[in-house]
Amino acid sequence: MTDVAAVEAAITDAHRSDWAGMLAATVRVARDLDLAEECVQEAYASAMRSWVDTGIPDKPAAWLTTAAKRRAIDAIRHDRALRSRLPLLLEPEEALEEATMQELSHGFAEDPRGAVPDDRLRLIFTCCHPALAQEAQVALTLRLVCGVPAPDIARAFLVSETTMAARITRAKKKISTARIPYRVPRPAELPDRLRAVLAVIHLLFTAGHTAPSGASLVRPELVDRAIRLARMLGQLMPDEVEVRGLLALLLATDARRATRVDSDGRLLQLKDQDRSQWDRAALAEADDIILGCLRSGPPGRYVLQAAIASLYAQAPSYEQTDWPQIVALYDKLLDVWPSPVVAINRVVPLAMVAGPETALAELGKLERDGRLSGYQYLPAVKADLLTRLGRTRQAAAAYQQALALAANETERAFLTAQIAKGRAPND
């Protein structure tokens, strides 16, 4: 008998580090996402039972994958029709089955999961296929690539469990009906398709970094999932500079996690954060990655964003930040990614270089542009600039506008406090 707690720990560990590879390898055999998912889940359940009796195997992931694949083969033998209905893979079925059987009887060659290195990539690219709505891409990635149970995904995005389950079911149905292929895109398609994958990971991160609503500012589980995904993608596609850039961006941004709120959960601005508490190891890793990326050619969107986040973090104090260099990086970023959100972010360092008056004029242009009318950070930045110019009444009005658009409780509390602060000396 093995200690139940030890078995549980081993299973949790295997789930965290190997779910994607396990599912991807099982999809190969099952040729169907639902069936593969079921088989992997059953494999975990059976591990719980048998590891208590027989002890934890040397290679838990290999054990689990074998168990899941065996179940898939059994299921297919019992229902051949199912397989022909859902031709998720492009390889001829017979060759595949034979290879799998050989694997199962002779053990695995180099990769303990028996997955060709591409398998997890195929899974990721299928989940992030542009024929699926982005919210479905996000949900599928969490469910299938990260193994997060659907109810947990529902909680993370504040929708009901039924809504989330329906969203995932609909997406899977489209994958099988429209025959979205389980494959890595060809080089010609890769840039577009990779952009979609990176966007999903980035969206997961931002949803965790500043929760779109609710009481707490950060949803650490989403942030950690996003970072782990970016890391995995980086290992699978080591030549893609933007993948590494994204990882660096997430690391450099998340390094400040512990200091973004004070001990009472109140939001702290960058200038008020305790820099000694920043995660130096994460910042150093981000910095290393960025330097490597910058050496391999003209930087793309994520590398530039990472470079900005890293430069902000390198300054010994807020006042000593290299503002002109940050503005220069934002200019480059606007060249490769002309987004109005980037233009707003640029206004903040611009105020430090050219003064709040100039920054306010720049912001006015963006306001008239109209594309960001529902974006809470526009009035928030405006309010901050107005405060610095001593125009408190206008600042209060802008803070009110931001408050009306903010749904996260921590941010709302911050904005409310700013309004009160502005009122105090005048009233």
Q: Which residues bind another protein (CB under 8 A)?
A: 90, 129, 131, 177-181, 183, 185, 189
**Smallest distance from another protein to CB 183, Å:** 8
The structure tokens listed for 194 are: 């990779």
Residue with Cβ nearer another protein (178 or 258): 178
Burial (0-12, 13-18, 19+ Cβ within 10 Å), 414: buried
By the 8 A CB rule, do 217 and 267 touch?
yes
**Smallest distance from another protein to CB 184, Å:** 11
How far apart (Å, rounded) are the C-alpha atoms in residues 341 and 124? 27
Give me the phi and psi of 408, to 5 degrees please.
-80, 130
E runs forming strands in 83-176: none
Residue with Cβ nearer another protein (134 or 163): 134
Residue with Cβ nearer another protein (189 or 272): 189
Q: Where are the alpha helices (DSSP H) in 210-339?
A: 220-236, 241-254, 280-295, 301-314, 323-336
How far apart (Å, rounded) are the C-alpha atoms in residues 345 and 340? 9
Residue with Cβ nearer another protein (85 or 393): 85
Neighbours of 155 (CB within 10 A): 17
**Smallest distance from another protein to CB 33, Å:** 15
**Smallest distance from another protein to CB 144, Å:** 18
**Smallest distance from another protein to CB 185, Å:** 7
Q: Where are the alpha helices (DSSP H) in 188-219?
A: 190-209
E runs forming strands in 100-173: none
Residue with Cβ nearer another protein (90 or 424): 90
Residue with Cβ nearer another protein (184 or 200): 184
The structure tokens listed for 124 are: 């990721």
**Smallest distance from another protein to CB 129, Å:** 8
